[in-house]
Every structure is written in structure tokens, then in C-alpha cells.
Chain A
């Protein structure tokens, strides 16, 4: 897989993962072009399209488009399955995931993706393993920012006393 993009129906990019080294300028150009192409397609149309020398596989979940670019010999259907697996993982992790989850916890979405795909290849086909790895890593991440913030909020309210 060359890259994966998540974008909203309005064309706002929500997540991007590039497995090929490209300059920011190129990335932007590709993103703009692909978002336009995919959004212009009707819901009944096929999920695959040939784009430059690549194949683009996309699927829409609610308001979010998941879009992958794969090489010509790659299997489109397995790519669809990868997308679906990723959505399942997000869903398990966030509990019925929605677009806002991904916007506000975008780093988590990346962590999940990184545990699932590495260098554009699926590193583990087992959902359980991926989620276990994420949970373990999360445990390591002591004092999560949110809690930290509440703690400090308490401190401030105490201060005047």
C-alpha cells in the first residue's frame, strides 16, 4: 500500500498515512486530487478506480471516506478488507467510533493504524493482537493529558482557599 487517507464528505482530511517518502508539496497535490475524484463519484459506483499508475480503493463509512492507494498488481478486495478491519479496530477501541472520535483523538487513530499496518503491509491479521498491543502501550502511557488537566483544575480551585 502506498498511502491511506481518511477524509470527510466535505473534503476535510482527517488522517493521512504515507508509506512512500514524498515531499509535502506532492502529498498535498495528491490529496487534493484524490479527494476531489473520490467525492465526485456516485454512491453506486465501484469502489475501485485507476489513478495515475496506481489503483485507488475507497469505501465510505458514514460521513468518512477511507481511501487507499495500492500498486497495480495488488488485490483490491483485500485492500477493502484492510479498510474494513481498520474500521473495526477503531470501533472496538473507541466503542462505536464516529468521525469526532478520530478528529479529537487523532493520535490514537494513528497508533491503531500503526499497530495494524506497518510500511503499508498488514502486520497482524488478528484483531485481538492489535488491540492488545494498543491497550498495553496505553497502559504505559501514564498520566494521560485529560486526567492531568483535571488534576490541575482541582489545584487551581483550591488555590484561593
Chain B
């Protein structure tokens, strides 16, 4: 016996076990199929042996191969053999293999019945368990029939482990052998109250699944389930029960009401998403209350804002809601439709809405529909309308609504479309003519109904665009019907005026044919006959127009009788087309030469004014200016020089004022060379406190500047390189980036004329592009300071890895850009260049050259410069509220750094103003000698500063989500203060 075991063991040594097989397959990736076929041969050999251990090992391997897709049905009998082993180890493998490989058509299953029965009644619960598990996978109707009783007995087994398995497998048995349900059901029901929660949940599972297939039979269990639902805390069980109720409620509506409370409780209390989801599912299925519908629509409108596409797919559902009895639901649905419209579905949606308009009862809702239709169509400047003829006909259809209040809305739409869409005019005019002809239908019995407003539009369109009328005479006739006199006054007025326009058109047509002078006279006679009604109108406007036109027509008739051709002259009365004017059209009108709209008519007094500026709003500023006019005599004595000086000071103040929004660089620059000017001033509200310290700062600056200026004036003459007019110089602190103009040594210049021909460049602005965090715009001003004409300027910068000059497509990476203008002597002009910047963390210096031709000498000259991109120049002054600021700091995403500045003896507010101004920060909050400041980079980094001062020492604690950027900004701040 012992020997046999040893022998078996030795044999086994040469066998592959499962692990070896898996490893082998993994090692034979290239020839897997071949390897496996040898393995299968081995397995076949193994299966032939008597040793059950070897067999079960082989079966185990087969199970694995089966998963890989190999056919193992030939080994079915061997699997049964292993299943039948008395050892749990092998039995387990055998049942596993069976559950994976057997299906209903596996014929050996029949042979297993007795074996399974034996296992089910095994004293070892795990034998039973393994058998039940296996059976659940390969149970056939035959097996179900034969074993139903055995399993049913197991449902009352002493061990809960067996009970729960038996309960669950009963479901499979019911499916395969429905006859077993009736005898088994009482016991199943008992299990709902089993002391073991596992068995209980298994029973709930089974009954819920059964009830879903046939809910009717399970209604009687509702109270029991209700009790379970309110007592159970097991989410898995709860989900099943709630699902069951979802199936039951349609059969028993009373359940729905009863369920609301426990369901709402669950919804509020549970933290499990899956349970919540199930509750909501059931609530929706069970209690389809209008409230839910309403809430659903409301939620959809929220989703619409962020995910329009996902809502659009529910268009039909939303359209259905328009049929709802409840008006508030209908209105919600309308709101939703407004946001869902697209070019594609507009016509469809409006068509549906029109149907609803016809059906709608009650004018309020119908009016609401009407306005919504118009809103939907006209939104975003008629963005979604592809066919305006369709829209006009919709509008005309809408006029058929009786008793609507929104006639004027339709009218204004008609006017708007007819005026703005030229192509549609002929169609619109035809439609309007019909409208006019059928005016009696509109006015009908209700004279004061709002719909007659559309006649206003119709008359105007027909008159103004009368050249499109097919039969102007008929329309003219329609417009002069006596009934018109019953219309509201303002409409009559339009009728009269446009009748005159029509008259001119009619005359034109009639005088073309020479023989028709009679007809023309008759036309005049028509007017003369009909107009007196209007002359007697009680409306002043109508009266005035009518009598005026009447006299005119009488005069025309007189001329006609003398055979004078009048048509042309009459037409001249209404010549010229009325065109729509876009709100921004004024901007396109060029300012006449010599007119400087920004120049002061009277220079405002500078002394008291700055105080006003800060405190007063725009409206008050106007008032202040008027005041200055009154006191004008006092200032007339101020001489030119003084004025110039004041201007300087003002400019400097503006430049140093962080709250002063400078005009766009281009407008500023164009004017640099011109005489004194004023920039557009926009005042931002700021606190009084801040105004005051700003004021003090300015006073000081003023004093400084006076000194400074004197010095410069002396120097300026000597030094050639002094750039630009002084005013320009004073603003330099505002330049975010300076170009260092590298001066050419005099003797290095090839041609002597270059000594005087010098193109001074001065960069005024580097602006981060807010919309694109990687773009920076550099505005460069070129000023020609020599006496010759400069042309063919080419601008080039050596790109670095980080910053690149954006060149037009097709240009090589080193090509220079042509500056798009020539410079006559003494003129300066601005060009803009776009740079793409990858990282904004480091400051950058880019070397560049400017080449140009001086016309007189026609030689190429070259000027080198450096472009300095500081980190500061990537910051954008962004206001920040203190609560948002606090939140930002709390978020913990920001990294800190700090800076100490010693020996700063300027007042704290000067210091703040300097940081604001030079480094584009804004003050968030200031308390005594402590202030918080904020700025943002073009790539969205937040930079926060906390500035404190004590005894000439300033400490700055800074936080930023990009430590590198922060370090550099702090360095730059330090530099700013070391320079002063």
C-alpha cells in the first residue's frame, strides 16, 4: 500500500500540475497551440490512469484549457468520475470542471443524478455545498425534476450555509421545472423570516426575482416585505425589496402612497449610492407624480446649461410634457425647449409648438406659447433660422390668434426680419399685402385686440418696400378703406404715411405707359376721396399727416391735369432706402482729420481735480468739468508753459495710478507725437481711504518729477539716445517690458548719414493674451528721429526654446517679419508682434535685430535690441474679493516663499501702490501696516502676497501655485525697490 502511494507520487512528479501548465503556456507564447496540443495529449494519458489524484489534476488542467477556448467535451465522463470521488479535494475539482464545461446538451449529465443526490445528503456540509454550487450552473430540467425534493429538504437543513444555498438554487430549479414552485413556495416564504440573515436575503432574492416575472401572484406578500423593508438595514436586501415593490405597485396603486414615506426616508438617510439609485428608480416608476415631472424638467434645464447634447436626445419626451394638464409643467417644458433648439430641429420644434398653439386653451398659456415661439426663433440674432420665408409664414400664422396681447411682438419681428433680411423682402411684402387685404379678419369684432398691431408692421413694410408689390394699386386701395379709421391712431398714421409711399410707386408704374394719364389721375382722385376721413381723425398725428398728404396729392393732381410728369418727383419724396444700423456702426465711421475727440475743449484745473476724480463717478465728472468752465477766468492767466507742466504731471499720475485703465496701446501710441491730448478715462470705484493715499503719493511724485525733468532737459540735448518725447519717458514705468536699445557705437556706423538717421524703438506693452495662456503680445513703437524716410523695416528675434516669435505660416523659423509701414521723418508708429511662450516661470531676454533702409542713402542698416520678458509681465492685474482670497489660501494648493526688504523709508501706501503698479497686483485688503494683494498669471497661476511693514523693514510673504514663478516675481519686486 505504502509502496503504491510512493509510486503514485513518483508518477506525479513527472506530471504537470496546473501551475506548471500555466507557466508552460506563458513560456511558449510563440507556439502556444502546439504546446497545448502536446499538453492535451499528456492529459489524455493521465486520464487513462487509475489514480484519482492524477485524474483530478488532469481535469483541473482541462478546466483551464476550456477557458482558453479549447474543446474539452470529450472528457465529460472523466469529469463525472472526478466528481464522484469520495475525497473533497477531487470532488471540488470535479464539480468545478462540471460547472464550467457542462451545459444542457451534455449527455453525461444524466449519469450524475444519483451522485449529486448522494452528495446533497452527505454529512459533510461542504460536499453538499459543492454539489449545490455545481448544480446551479448545469441544472437541466431533468435534474431539476429529479432533485427538486432533495433540494427542498435542504432548505430546512440545520446549517444556514446549506439553507441559503438551497434557497438560491431553488430559483434555478423553478425556472427549469416550474411545477416545483407550488409545493416549494410555502417553505420559501418561511425562509423570508429565517433567523440567519444570509438565508433571509437569499429568500428575498429569489422571491423578488420570481415576482419580477409574475408580480400578480406575490401581491399577498406585500405586507411582509413592507415589514422587512422598514426593519432591514442590509442594503443588498433593501434594494431587492424596493425593486419588488416597483413591480408590485402598478398592480396595487394604494401601495404607492404607502411607499412614499419609507422611500423618502431611505433616500434621505442612505449613504449607499446603489440603494439611493434604486429608491429613485422605484419612486419614478411607482409614483409618477407631476411634482417629479416638474422637478425632472427643472433638473434637465440645469443639465442643459452644461451638457446640451444629453438633453437634446429627450426632445420628444419634453414635447410630450407640453400636453400635460398642469400648466406649470408645460411652462417648464417650454423653457427647456428654448435652450434645446438647434438649426436642425428648430422647424420641427416650432411646428409642434404651433400645433399646441392651436390646441391651447386660455389666453395666458397661449400667449406664453406665442412669446416662446418668437423667443426661440429670434434667439441669438436668428442664429437657428435657416429659412426666413418659413419664419415669416410662421409669424403670419401667429396673427390668426385671437385675443393675444402680443401683437406688437409679432409686428416688431416682422419689421426686424423684413428690414434686415433683404432677400426676404419680396416674400414678406407679398405676405403683408395679403394681411392688409384681410385686415378685417384681424380686427374682427374685437377692435382693441392687440393683434391689429401687426397691421402697423404690414402697412409699413408694404409702403417702404412697395417696389416688391405685385399689385400696388390693390394694396393702396386696401389701405384706404374706411374701416381703417377704426384702428388705433398710431396705426392709422402709419397707414396714411405709407399710402403716400404706395401712391408714388403706383404713379411710377402708371406713368410708364403714356396712354394712362387718366388712370394716374384716378389714383390721385382715390386718395383725394379717401383721405378726408383721416383728416377728421381725432388723433393729431393722423390728422397732421393726412392733411399734409391730401394737399400734396391735390397739387399733384393739378399738375397731372396739365400733363406734367410728376412720378419722378413724387418718388423723390421717399427716395433712399432705410437701412438697419448696427449698434456698433458708429465705431466704423472714421473720425475726420484734425478732429481730436479726446482733446479737452477747456483744460480742466489740475489742482482740485484729482480729488474729484477718485470720488466722483463718471456722471459727476461731467459736472466737475462744467464747474471748471464757470471758473474759467481764473485759469486763463496760466501760461502755456504752466499748462504743459500740468499736463506732464497729469500723465505721470495717470501712468502711476494702478486704477487708471490706459487706453489701448495703439491709440495711445499714435498720438505720442501729436500735441497735448487726453486719454479716455474710466474710473473704477475705489475706497476713500485708498484715494487719499494715492493722493499723497501723487503729490510727492509731482515734486520729484519737477526736479527730475529739469535734469533731463539739460541732458536730453546732449544724449542722442534719449528716446521719445518726454511724456513718453514719464510713462516708461508702465511699460511691462523694456527693450534695451543697444546703441551702435558711432564709429562703427558704415555711413555717416546714419548718425542722424536713427530709428528709436521703444516697447510699450507686453500683454498676456487672456484667452490663450501661451501667447504674449508685444507692442513696439518705432519712431523715426532722423530727417529721412525710413522703409522696409524688418523685425527679427532669435527664438529661444521657450519663447518664439509667431511668424506667418510658411515662414522659416529664422525669417524676419516685415513691419507693415514706412516711417516718414519724425513720425512714430506701432507694430504688434505675437510671441508664443511655453513656460512663464522664468524671465527671459530675447535678442533681436531691426533692419531698415534709409531712403536717401538706400543702404541697409541694423539695430540690435533686447526684449526683456520679466515674470511680472506675465501677471495680469485681477481683482479678488477677500472671501475668495481667503478660500484660495485655505485650499493649501499654494506654495509659500518670503522676502525681506530693509531700509525702505517710503510710506506703506507708496509701497503698495508701487507693487500694484509695477507688478500688476491688486490690493485685496489692507489693515494698518499689513496688506494682502493678489494677481494672476496669464496661465492662471494665483499669486498672493501678504505685505507687512515695521521700522523700515518690509516683509512680504507670498504664496503661489508655481514656486518658480513666485521666486522670480519676488526677485523682480526686490529689484524694483532696490532701484528707488
Question: A: which residues have CB within 8 A of B?
Answer: 13-19, 21-24, 28, 73, 75-78, 80-81, 103-104, 106-107, 110-111, 114-115, 118-119, 121-126, 129, 133, 136-137, 140-146, 148-149, 151-153, 155-156
CA distance A119 to B176 in the complex (A): 13
- CB-based contact B164/A124 at 8 Å: yes
- CB-based contact A73/B243 at 8 Å: yes
Q: Which residues of A contact B92 (CB under 8 A)?
A: 107, 111, 137, 141
Known: A119-B136, A141-B88, A152-B12. A75 touches B198 (CB 8 A): no
- CB-based contact B57/A145 at 8 Å: yes
Of B17-25, B295-303, B764-772, which binds chain A? Answer: B17-25
Question: In this assembly, does B67 line the interface, its C-beta being within 8 Å of a C-beta of chain A?
Answer: yes
- CB-based contact B234/A125 at 8 Å: yes
- CB-based contact B10/A152 at 8 Å: yes
Question: In this assembly, does B13 line the interface, its C-beta being within 8 Å of a C-beta of chain A?
Answer: yes
- How far does the Cβ of B407 sit from chain A's closest Cβ, in whole Å? 50
| Nearest-neighbor residue (CB-CB) of B71 within chain A | A24
- CB-based contact B165/A118 at 8 Å: yes
A sample of 24 inter-chain contacts (CB < 8 A) reads: A24-B73, A24-B103, A77-B274, A106-B22, A106-B67, A107-B63, A111-B96, A118-B133, A118-B165, A119-B171, A122-B205, A124-B201, A125-B197, A125-B201, A125-B237, A129-B161, A133-B129, A137-B130, A144-B89, A145-B18, A148-B53, A149-B12, A155-B10, A156-B13
Q: Which residues of B contact A111 (CB under 8 A)?
A: 92, 96
Q: Which residues of A contact B239 (CB under 8 A)?
A: 75, 78
CA distance A148 to B105 in the complex (A): 37
- How far does the Cβ of B375 sit from chain A's closest Cβ, in whole Å? 34
| Nearest-neighbor residue (CB-CB) of B97 within chain A | A107
| Nearest-neighbor residue (CB-CB) of B89 within chain A | A141
- CB-based contact B64/A106 at 8 Å: yes
Q: Which residues of B contact A149 (CB under 8 A)?
A: 12-13, 17
Question: In this assembly, does B236 line the interface, its C-beta being within 8 Å of a C-beta of chain A?
Answer: yes
Q: Which residues of B contact A123 (CB under 8 A)?
A: 164-165, 168, 198, 202
- CB-based contact B129/A137 at 8 Å: yes
Q: Which residues of B contact A78 (CB under 8 A)?
A: 235-236, 239, 274, 278
Known: A111-B96, A143-B89. A152 touches B172 (CB 8 A): no
| Nearest-neighbor residue (CB-CB) of B87 within chain A | A142
> Which of these, A73, A81, A140, A152, contacts B274 with CB under 8 Å?
A81
Q: With contacts A123-B168, A141-B92 known, what are 17 further pairs, Cβ within 8 A?
A: A13-B69, A75-B243, A76-B277, A103-B22, A107-B63, A118-B133, A119-B168, A121-B171, A121-B205, A122-B205, A123-B202, A137-B130, A141-B88, A144-B89, A148-B9, A148-B12, A149-B17
Known: A119-B169, A133-B129. A107 touches B93 (CB 8 A): yes
- How far does the Cβ of B160 sit from chain A's closest Cβ, in whole Å? 9
Q: Which residues of A contact B126 (CB under 8 A)?
A: 133, 136-137, 140
Q: Which residues of A contact B235 (CB under 8 A)?
A: 78
- CB-based contact B236/A125 at 8 Å: yes
- CB-based contact A75/B278 at 8 Å: yes
Question: B: which residues have CB within 8 A of A?
Answer: 6, 9-10, 12-13, 17-19, 22-23, 53, 57, 60, 63-64, 67-69, 71, 73, 87-89, 92-93, 96, 99-100, 103-105, 124, 126, 129-130, 132-133, 136-138, 140, 161, 164-165, 168-169, 171-172, 197-198, 201-202, 205-206, 209, 212, 234-237, 239, 243, 273-274, 277-278, 281
> Which of these, B64, B138, B165, B234, contacts A21 with CB under 8 Å?
B138
Q: Which residues of A contact B274 (CB under 8 A)?
A: 75-78, 80-81
- Which 10 A-B residue pairs are closest in the complex by CB-CB distance? A77-B274, A152-B9, A119-B136, A141-B89, A114-B133, A140-B88, A78-B274, A118-B168, A124-B198, A137-B126
> Which of these, A13, A18, A140, A144, contacts B124 with CB under 8 Å?
A140
CA distance A42 to B169 in the complex (A): 38
| Nearest-neighbor residue (CB-CB) of A145 within chain B | B17
CA distance A133 to B105 in the complex (A): 32
CA distance A75 to B63 in the complex (A): 31
CA distance A104 to B212 in the complex (A): 40
Interface of A is mostly: helix
- CB-based contact B209/A121 at 8 Å: yes
CA distance A153 to B64 in the complex (A): 25
Q: Which residues of A contact B23 (CB under 8 A)?
A: 104
- CB-based contact A152/B13 at 8 Å: yes
Q: Which residues of A contact B87 (CB under 8 A)?
A: 142
- How far does the Cβ of A88 sit from chain B's closest Cβ, in whole Å? 14
- CB-based contact A21/B57 at 8 Å: no
CA distance A28 to B68 in the complex (A): 10
| Nearest-neighbor residue (CB-CB) of B73 within chain A | A24
- How far does the Cβ of B236 sit from chain A's closest Cβ, in whole Å? 5
| Nearest-neighbor residue (CB-CB) of A12 within chain B | B68
Known: A81-B274, A123-B165. A107 touches B60 (CB 8 A): yes
Known: A137-B129, A140-B126, A152-B9. A125 touches B22 (CB 8 A): no
Q: Which residues of A contact B133 (CB under 8 A)?
A: 114-115, 118
* B57, B63, B104, B136 pick with most chain A CB within 10 angstroms: B136
| Nearest-neighbor residue (CB-CB) of B70 within chain A | A24
CA distance A21 to B278 in the complex (A): 28
| Nearest-neighbor residue (CB-CB) of B68 within chain A | A13
- How far does the Cβ of B534 sit from chain A's closest Cβ, in whole Å? 70
Known: A13-B67, A16-B67. A122 touches B164 (CB 8 A): no
- How far does the Cβ of A142 sit from chain B's closest Cβ, in whole Å? 6
CA distance A76 to B239 in the complex (A): 11
Q: Which residues of B contact A156 (CB under 8 A)?
A: 10, 13
- How far does the Cβ of A36 sit from chain B's closest Cβ, in whole Å? 15
Q: Which residues of B contact A110 (CB under 8 A)?
A: 96, 100
CA distance A30 to B286 in the complex (A): 34
> Which of these, A14, A15, A104, A143, contacts B18 with CB under 8 Å?
A104
- How far does the Cβ of B244 sit from chain A's closest Cβ, in whole Å? 11
| Nearest-neighbor residue (CB-CB) of A130 within chain B | B198
CA distance A136 to B126 in the complex (A): 8
Q: Which residues of B contact A151 (CB under 8 A)?
A: 9
Q: Which residues of A contact B132 (CB under 8 A)?
A: 118
| Nearest-neighbor residue (CB-CB) of A5 within chain B | B67
Q: Which residues of B contact A15 (CB under 8 A)?
A: 67
CA distance A16 to B101 in the complex (A): 11
- How far does the Cβ of A84 sit from chain B's closest Cβ, in whole Å? 11
- CB-based contact B18/A106 at 8 Å: yes
- How far does the Cβ of B825 sit from chain A's closest Cβ, in whole Å? 63
Q: Which residues of A contact B236 (CB under 8 A)?
A: 78, 122, 125
CA distance A110 to B100 in the complex (A): 10
Q: Which residues of A contact B93 (CB under 8 A)?
A: 107
- How far does the Cβ of B359 sit from chain A's closest Cβ, in whole Å? 35
- CB-based contact A77/B273 at 8 Å: yes
Known: A13-B68, A22-B103, A140-B124. A121 touches B10 (CB 8 A): no
CA distance A18 to B139 in the complex (A): 12
- How far does the Cβ of B221 sit from chain A's closest Cβ, in whole Å? 18
* A15, A115, A137, A153 pick with most chain B CB within 10 angstroms: A137
Q: Which residues of B contact A119 (CB under 8 A)?
A: 136-137, 168-169, 171-172
| Nearest-neighbor residue (CB-CB) of A151 within chain B | B9
- How far does the Cβ of A72 sit from chain B's closest Cβ, in whole Å? 11
CA distance A125 to B69 in the complex (A): 32
